[in-house]
Amino acid sequence: MAKFFKYKTTADLEAENARLNLDLRFSDDLSPLSQPVTVGTRTVGNRWCIHPMEGCDGNLDGTPGELTFRRYQRFGGGGAKLIWGEACAVNDEGRANPRQIALNPRTRDEFAKLVEQTRQAHRDSLGDDSDLLFGLQLTHSGRYSVKPIIATHDPLLDPRTVVNKATGQKVTADYPIITDDELKRLVDDYVATAKLAVEVGFDFLDVKQCHRYLLNELLGARNRPGPYGGSFENRTRLAREIFTALKAVVPSNVLLATRMNGFDSIPYHKGDNDDGQPDPWTAPLANGWGMSESDPFTPDLAEPIRWVQEMRTLGVDLVNVALGNPYAQPHFGRPFEYPPPDGYESPEHPLTGVDRHFKCAEAVQRANPGLAIVGTGYSYLQEFFPQAGAANVRDGRITFVGVGRASLAQPDWVKQLQDNGKMDRKRVCRTFSYCTALMREKNHPLGQYPTGCPPFDKEAYGEIWKEVLELKVKK
C-alpha cells in the first residue's frame, strides 16, 4: 500500500515540492490567516473556512439529527469564521441518501435551532459572533439522488449509475433525462428553500454546482438538447435562473455563494496493483466541465472563469472551488494516503492533487480580484496545512482556506493555533478515508450510516466504526 506522507517539517515538504516540480508554498507567519475580510455586505473575522461536510446523520424527515447538532456545535466553537454548512436538499427527490438534511416548512424549526446552537457555541468559545458567517449548501443530487435523476446521458458515468440497488440495474440509453419543464420548476424549490434558510438565520446560500450533482452535470452537458444543454449559455441557464430568482428574494445581508467544480475529469477504476486508471474513453468527450473534449486530465478553466465572472454580475459574492467527482475519481477531490473502499490507490503523488487544487483556485482568484474565493485540498497536508494556507493567502492565491476532513478530525484547530501556536498533533487528519467509507455504507436500519472521524473522534464514531467493520466481516 502506498505511503507518501513522510514529511516531518515544512522543509521536507518544500524539498518534495521541488522534486515533484509543484508550486506548493509554506509560511511560518500565520498572521495573514487572522486578517478579517469584507465579503459583499459582510465582514468575516478570519480566513478559515470549514468546508461543507455532510454527516449523513439527519433524520428520515430531513431534520438534523443528534450527531448533526453535535458536529455544528464543534464547528461553531472551533474558531473558523466561515462555516460552510453541508449539502441540504431542496426537495425530497434530490436527496443523495435517506439521511441527508432537507430544509422545508416541516423541518424549519430544527434548522433554526441548528443555527442558534452553532452561533451560541461560537460565542461561548470565541466571544463575538458578529464576524461569523454560517451558510447552507442548497443541493439537488441529480445523478446521485437515491433514485438517479440525470441531466444528460454520460457514456462514462451511466454504466456506473445504479438505478436499482437490489438488482444492480444501471442507467441505460432509454433512461429518461429530466425534462426542461422539470428543470424550470426546480427554480421554485431553490427559492422556497432559500427563503426558509434566510428565515432561520443562515448568512449565505450556496447554490451547489460541484461534484457532478445536478447543476454541475448541467454545466458540462454539451450533449443535452434544448435550452439547458449544448452552448455555454444553455449549460449555465438553470443556475443563472436560480441566482436571478434568489437575488430577488434574498435580503442584501445574506450573501449568494456557490461551490463550483473547476474541473470534472473522467471516472477511474482500480487497475493493476490497485492503482487508479482512467476508464477507457474516446475524444471528443460527450460532456464535462472545465476540460476540453480531447483532454480530460488537464483543467481548462476558460469556461469556469467566464461563468464566475458572470455569476458576480448576478450577485454572487463567494465562490468555493472544488474538483472532480467523489464517486468516480476521489483522488482529484480528496487527495488521500489510503483510498476509500470503493476507490483505488492514488495514481499520482497526492501532493500533485493538492497542487492542482491550489492552482485551479488561484486561477479563479487571479481572474477575479476582490472576489472571495475559497480554496480546497488542504487536509492532505496534515499538520502543515496552516502554513500552506498562510502562504496562499499572503500571496493572493486565495481569500479563504477551506478545510474539509481535517475539520472532522480536529474541529477546533483554529483555537488550537490561537491558544497553543500549533495544532493538536494527536488529532490531525491522516487522510485514512474512514469517513468516506462510512458515507458509502448503506447497510443500516435507516438506509445510511452516519459519518465522522473514527480514528480521532472515537467518542462519537468509535462504536459506529466497529459495527461497520463487523458487518464487513460477516459479509
Binding at 432: pick from ligand SF4, ligand FMN, none (beta carbon under 5-8 Å per type): ligand SF4
Comparison of 206 and 300: residue with beta carbon closer to ligand FMN = 206
The footprint of ligand FMN on residues 396-425 (CB under 6 A) is: 403-406
CB of 323 to ligand FMN, least distance (A): 8
Comparison of 145 and 436: residue with beta carbon closer to ligand SF4 = 436
Among 13, 24, 86, 364, binds ligand FMN (CB under 6 A): 86
Region label for 179, one of left (φ > 0), alpha (ψ between -120 and 50) or beta (otherwise): beta
Cα angle, residue 87 at apex, residues 435 and 82 outer, rounded to 5°: 90
Size of site (CB under 6 A) for ligand FMN:
26
Residues 63 and 39: their CA atoms lie apart, in Å, by 29
Residue 379 makes contact with ligand FMN by CB under 6 A: yes
Comparison of 17 and 433: residue with beta carbon closer to ligand FMN = 433
DSSP E strands, 209-366: 255-263, 268-270, 276-278, 316-323
Residue 465 makes contact with ligand SF4 by CB under 6 A: no
Residue 52 makes contact with ligand FMN by CB under 6 A: yes
Residue 455 makes contact with ligand SF4 by CB under 6 A: yes
CB of 326 to ligand SF4, least distance (A): 13
Residue 157 makes contact with ligand SF4 by CB under 6 A: no
Residue 137 makes contact with ligand FMN by CB under 6 A: yes
The answer to whether the beta carbons of residues 254 and 42 sit under 8 Å apart is no
Among 378, 413, 432, 461, binds ligand FMN (CB under 6 A): 378
Residues 395 and 135: their CA atoms lie apart, in Å, by 26
Residue 380 makes contact with ligand FMN by CB under 6 A: yes
Tell how far CA 270 is from the center of its chain.
23
Beta bridge pairs of residue 38: 43
Residue 51 makes contact with ligand FMN by CB under 6 A: yes
Cell 495544532, located at residue: 423
Binding at 210: pick from ligand SF4, ligand FMN, none (beta carbon under 5-8 Å per type): ligand FMN
The footprint of ligand FMN on residues 182-201 (CB under 6 A) is: none
Binding window for ligand SF4 (CB under 6 A); candidates: 12-20, 169-177, 257-265, 432-440? 432-440
CB of 396 to ligand SF4, least distance (A): 29
The answer to whether the beta carbons of residues 405 and 385 sit under 8 Å apart is no
Angle between helices 350-367 and 302-313 (to 10 degrees): 40
Comparison of 85 and 229: residue with beta carbon closer to ligand FMN = 85
Residue 432 makes contact with ligand SF4 by CB under 6 A: yes
Structural element, H or E, at residue 43: strand 42-44
Residue 111 makes contact with ligand SF4 by CB under 6 A: no
CB of 333 to ligand SF4, least distance (A): 13
Among 99, 122, 405, 440, binds ligand SF4 (CB under 6 A): 405
Residue 349's contacts (CB-CB under 8 Å, 6 or more residues apart) are 4, 20
Comparison of 301 and 435: residue with beta carbon closer to ligand FMN = 435
CB of 396 to ligand FMN, least distance (A): 21
Residues 364 and 341: their CA atoms lie apart, in Å, by 32
Burial class (CB in 10 A: 0-12, 13-18, 19+), 125: middle
Binding window for ligand FMN (CB under 6 A); candidates: 157-165, 240-248, 270-278, 370-378? 370-378
Neighbours of 284 (CB within 10 A): 11
Beta bridge pairs of residue 132: none
Contacts 24+ apart (CB under 8 A), 369-372: 371/308, 371/312, 371/317, 371/319, 371/399, 372/37, 372/39, 372/40, 372/44, 372/317, 372/318, 372/319, 372/399, 372/400
Residues forming the site for ligand SF4 (CB under 6 A): 405, 408-409, 429-435, 453-456
